[in-house]
Amino acid sequence: MPAESPRRTQEQRRTTTGAALLAAAAELVVESGVRAVTLARVGERAGYSRGIVTHHFGSKQALLDALAKASQGGFVPGIGDVPPGLDRLVLLIEGYVRELGRDGVNGRAFLLLWAEAATAAELSGTFRERDEAFRAELSGDVEAGLRDGTMRADLVPRDVAVAVLGQVRGIGLQRLLDPDAVDTERLSGAVAGQWRRALCAEAGADGEVRS
């Protein structure tokens, strides 16, 4: 007889259930918007009771907070081991734009929630926090580039971070509105190249990066 698989621990079951609930919430956001998300509907979509959703998150606010963090975390794979600086920033920009074309449910849910945060009080605090964390990450790359001399000395890290965040999120929203108009695979390299030329300390007067 085949060996019996070990029983899952309580923590493993909780993690699995939480992931299923967040996936269900993301699907509802993409299909019908944030106003369609209720604890009851999330539980029904995931195959659980509303009580399970309440037990995990406590409230719709907490559920949306968790969804915002889960859907943005690890959005760009492969940069975790790259040290801060110019190369990491360019890779992050290129990867972010490319990932926008994957049309994953989590990525679409994050962008829809982010867009609604401008007018939805229950979302604004969460997304101010997430945007500030992203700006801090981007600023850190610029600061590292200034320290090692690979970026232009006149750059203001915070300003670069605001501009990068605005561009990549704007591309994402365009992609949501009209997918056929935004070729993220081609655009990712073009946008990354523009930023490398704009930031690199070795760029000449014509904007070309000198080797």
Mean pLDDT by 10 residues, the chain (211 residues): 58 87 92 88 92 91 86 74 95 92 82 86 86 95 98 98 96 90 94 97 56 40
Residue with tokens 């915002």: 68
Model pLDDT, residue 203: 58
Q: What angle do CA 152, 155, 160 make, to 5 degrees?
A: 120
CA distance 3 to 93: 48
Reduce the DSSP state of residue 110 to 3 states and report it: helix
pLDDT at 6: 55
Residue type, 66: A
The whole-number pLDDT of residue 208 equals 54
CA gap 130, 21 in Å, rounded: 21
Question: What Å distances lie between residue 137 and 39, 77, 83, 92, 161, CA to CA?
Answer: 33, 15, 12, 10, 8
Say what the pLDDT of residue 197 is.
96
